[in-house]
Amino acid sequence: MPALVYVGLGSNSGDSEGILRAACAGLAEFLRGLRVSSAWRSAPRYVLDQPDFLNAVASGECALEPPELLRRCNALEAALGRDRARERVKGPRTLDLDILLYGSELVDLPDLKVPHPGMTERAFVLRPLLELDPDLADPRSGRPFAVFLPSVETQGIYPAGLAALY
């Protein structure tokens, strides 16, 4: 049975707008009824000496099991120029796709944790996620994601003012 999946998208290297548009088209191949938030610009976290990110969240129905979804997301990243072997951890990247939610499932695999462990601490995830579904709740705690927003308000994030990515 398909699950409603949410995927975070980010880019701060190369033609970020074009890369996110191409990523959305690629996600539409395996996420049915794809919806995409507006684009947001956000200041880098963790490694600060890099350009701002362009971020969004996409959602759609997915029939793939979580490990296969991760494999497809990683392949899409690579197809759009990401080379994990050459990039600095938390540094600039052409494309980062994070599986945020997989229905109400809790996934705990060595290379995949869902819900994404850091999502409630990141404005660049919460703002676009809540744009798609303001009533969405964390499947682990049952708490609405909106309750986490005040704690991330000071993070640098603002609407990118772009036409729809998809």
**Sign of torsion, CA 27 38 149 143?**
negative
User: How high is the pLDDT of residue 56?
Assistant: 98
Q: Give pLDDT tens digits along the chain (166 positions).
A: 899 999 999 999 999 999 999 999 999 999 999 999 999 999 998 888 999 999 999 999 999 999 999 999 999 999 999 998 898 888 899 999 999 999 999 999 999 999 999 999 999 999 999 999 999 999 999 999 999 999 998 888 999 999 999 9
Q: What is the pTM of this model?
A: 0.96
User: How high is the pLDDT of residue 154?
Assistant: 84
Query: Locate tokens 């996420």: which residue?
Result: 31
The verdict on whether 83 is a catalytic residue reads: no
Rounded to whole angstroms, the Cα distance separating 105 from 30 reads 18
Domain ranges of the chain: 3-159
Single out the catalytic residue among 41, 98, 122, 127: 98
Single out the catalytic residue among 96, 111, 122, 143: 96
User: How high is the pLDDT of residue 100?
Assistant: 98
Bridge partner residues of 8 (DSSP): 57, 98
CATH architecture under which domain 3-159 falls: 2-Layer Sandwich (3.30)
The verdict on whether 49 is a catalytic residue reads: no
Nearest residue to 115 via CA among 78, 149, 142, 135? 142
